[in-house]
Structure 1
Amino acid sequence: MNYTLHQLQVFLKVTETKSITKAAEQLYLTQPAVSIQLRNFQDQFDIPLTEVVGRQLYVTEFGMEIARAAQNILNEVQAINYKTMAYKGKLSGKLSITSVSTGKYVIPFLLADFLKQHTEVELVLDVTNKNRVVRSLENNEVDFALVSLFPDLSVQSIPLMENQLVLVANRDFPMPKKPLTLEAIQALPLIYREAGSGSRFVMERFLNQLDSKGTKKMELTGNEAVKQAIMAGLGCSIMPVIGIKNELQNGDVQIIPAEGLPQSSQWNMIWMKSKNLSPVAEAYKNYLLENKSTIIQNHFGWTEQL
């Protein structure tokens, strides 16, 4: 056996993605380079690691055993690197965080100074939908998750700030003389986020207080798509105020006063109770606890003026 760490990394990525093309993209390599490394790795075993049926790549049972061993080896190598940097007095290692999509307006500010202080820390950040966030936590793929609604998991949390949702319309929407009633809101052409979104959950919870439900004009994936539809005059939506700062300043959208709004949820940084935090993750947790109030006031204090 004369396999290299690089071959282990390539093989492990292929087993994760079940695709040479996707593995190449995530490793920033060419497809031929991945194929060559995979073939060289396979040549060291008499039993197939992968097989192709039709056009789909499958990992054999033996291949999965080797993948688990490869992961253990790479974990040990990473631990050696961490210990070396720690001996030099530097915090190093991987910090893995996932966030629901609206969290992209929050998470950069929660990370910036920490990463400046600890330049040897490698950040892996996945901004995605709520379902994938929950899966990442369940599968122990991440250290932390930024959420506005708690998943049905056994977690610990650091409360951060309110997530206020308001009724948003474009610049041409006539400003009412008094706050709109729930019935009036339900009569509007409403734009919904996709199913499973935290914003969608809060919006539906608010609208469903009456027997009749809102008139759904359309359903769009992502906060940015909803904003563009609002600015184009396609309808109104109930959405997080943190995601419309620039549009408010530019006068592209406006917040419409409404009874029962804003609705609020809570941004929390969470992690599984059973999670053994790495030194990097532990340091980041302590950083958040010590600095969250200052970060929130400096970057999100403007929301209190609305």
Structure 2
Amino acid sequence: MNYTLHQLQIFFKVAETKSITKAAEELFLTQPAVSIQLKNFQEQFPIPLTEVVGRKLFITDFGQEIVKAAEKILNEVHAINYRTMAFAGELTGRLKISVVSTAKYVIPYFLAEFMAQNKGVDLIMDVTNKARVVESLEANEVDFAMVSVLPKQIKTESVELMQNKLFFVGGMQHEKLNKPIKKEQFEELPLIYREQGSATRNAMETFIKGNAFSIRKKIELTSNEAVKQAIIAGLGYSLMPLIGIKNELRTGELQIIPIAGLPVVTTWNLVWLPAKKLSPAAMAFLEHVTATKETIIQQKFKWFEEY
């Protein structure tokens, strides 16, 4: 057998994502490149590693054994790299963060300088809904999580970062308004919701329930980008975080529709478990965020004050 570390890495990522397309995206490779390397890797084994059933990719029992072996090998390679950098006096290790989908517009700014200064640190970041973020934190799968509403079911330590403002948003098809819409006007509008488990959905449901609004029509989508495009296309209206619609507000593709009780204002927090033994890389990142957050907010998010 003559497989390479590159092929092991690709096979492991395909097994992890159960998708050639997703593996290619996460590895910053083209889909054909991943398919070719996966085929070359498979040719070195007499037993199938994967199978496709109903257009879905599955890892065979034998493939799962190879996945376990590949993970051990790749971890050893990472360890060698970290030891080499540590010997040279560089900060090394993995930084694992899980963030709610709206936070993907915020957290990169708090990471950029830190990652540039510490090239021996590998970043693994999962962008998902609040329910999954809390699960990964509770299961001790990550160093930090970033949420706009602190989880009540688990005890956490936290650092406040910046405000999260949610407004009621419509597209160009809605007339421009200078005064808040009335209850009966709101109830005539088709609404677009995020999926269950989303903090944005929870905020929208709480707002509607608190005002005793009736719902005329409901559409459910699984990402803020999907909601944004649906609003632009004229499918409906939704409560959206300001952070994700800056450009569309300025180009006029979206508009904030005034309504009493809005915006909903929460705060993004970087959170971690009190009992978590933070690695040197995680501790260094926490210190970096604490020391630089005010400067980053002033430099990158001063436009928030316009709304």
Matched position secondary structure for 1:208? helix
- Alpha-carbon distance between aligned partners in 2 of 1:226 and 1:19, rounded to the nearest angstrom: 24
- Alpha-carbon distance between aligned partners in 2 of 1:164 and 1:19, rounded to the nearest angstrom: 35
- Alpha-carbon distance between aligned partners in 2 of 1:90 and 1:195, rounded to the nearest angstrom: 42
- Alpha-carbon distance between aligned partners in 1 of 2:242 and 2:88, rounded to the nearest angstrom: 44
Shifted more, 277-286 versus 139-148: the winner is 139-148
Q: TM-score, normalised to structure 2's length? A: 0.79
Q: 1:35 to 1:20 in 2, by over 3 A?
A: farther
Q: 1:216 to 1:148 in 2, by over 3 A?
A: farther
Q: How does 1:204-219 map to 2 (within 5 A)?
A: 204-219=205-220
Q: How does 1:241-256 map to 2 (within 5 A)?
A: 241-256=242-257
- Alpha-carbon distance between aligned partners in 1 of 2:8 and 2:125, rounded to the nearest angstrom: 23
- Corresponding position of 1:164: 165
Shifted more, 209-218 versus 160-169: the winner is 209-218
Determine if the alignment matches structure 1 residue 59 to structure 2 residue 65.
no
Q: Aligned residues, how many?
A: 299
- Alpha-carbon distance between aligned partners in 2 of 1:63 and 1:234, rounded to the nearest angstrom: 43
Post-superposition offset of 1:240: 0.7
Matched position secondary structure for 2:217? strand
Q: 1:153 to 1:6 in 2, by over 3 A?
A: farther
Letter in 1 for 2:155: S
- Corresponding position of 1:81: 81
- Alpha-carbon distance between aligned partners in 1 of 2:238 and 2:22, rounded to the nearest angstrom: 36
Is this contact kept in 2: 1:10–1:38, CA < 8 A?
A: no
- Corresponding position of 1:113: 113
Is this contact kept in 1: 2:100–2:129, CA < 8 A?
A: yes
Q: Alpha carbon RMSD of aligned pairs, Å?
A: 3.5
- Corresponding position of 2:123: 123
1:281-305 Cα offsets, whole Å, 9 max, x none, are 1111111111111111211121122
- Alpha-carbon distance between aligned partners in 1 of 2:20 and 2:229, rounded to the nearest angstrom: 36
- Corresponding position of 1:104: 104
1:1-43 Cα offsets, whole Å, 9 max, x none, are x998678756755764567897788665644644665676x79
- Alpha-carbon distance between aligned partners in 2 of 1:183 and 1:32, rounded to the nearest angstrom: 58
Post-superposition offset of 1:184: 3.7
Q: 1:33 to 1:178 in 2, by over 3 A?
A: closer
Q: 1:9 to 1:177 in 2, by over 3 A?
A: closer
Please tell me whether Structure 1 or Structure 2 has the larger radius of gyration of its CA atoms: 1
- Corresponding position of 2:241: 240
Q: How does 1:1-20 map to 2 (within 5 A)?
A: 13=13, 16=16
Q: TM-score, normalised to structure 1's length? A: 0.79
1:169-192 Cα offsets, whole Å, 9 max, x none, are 223423445323455423322222
Letter in 2 for 1:193: R
- Corresponding position of 1:134: 134
Post-superposition offset of 1:264: 1.7
Q: 1:142 to 1:229 in 2, by over 3 A?
A: same
Q: 1:26 to 1:58 in 2, by over 3 A?
A: farther
Shifted more, 285-294 versus 136-145: the winner is 136-145
Letter in 2 for 1:126: D
Identity of aligned pairs, percent? 51
Post-superposition offset of 1:109: 1.1
- Alpha-carbon distance between aligned partners in 2 of 1:230 and 1:241, rounded to the nearest angstrom: 14
Post-superposition offset of 1:255: 1.5
- Corresponding position of 2:204: 203
1:176-222 Cα offsets, whole Å, 9 max, x none, are 45323455423322222222221111011000114443323422232
- Corresponding position of 2:145: 145
Q: Which runs of 5+ in 2 are unaligned?
A: none
Letter in 1 for 2:304: T
Shifted more, 152-161 versus 200-209: the winner is 152-161
Shifted more, 188-197 versus 252-261: the winner is 188-197
Shifted more, 209-218 versus 71-80: the winner is 71-80
Shifted more, 236-245 versus 134-143: the winner is 134-143
- Alpha-carbon distance between aligned partners in 2 of 1:108 and 1:251, rounded to the nearest angstrom: 26
Shifted more, 91-100 versus 288-297: the winner is 91-100
Is this contact kept in 2: 1:170–1:254, CA < 8 A?
A: yes
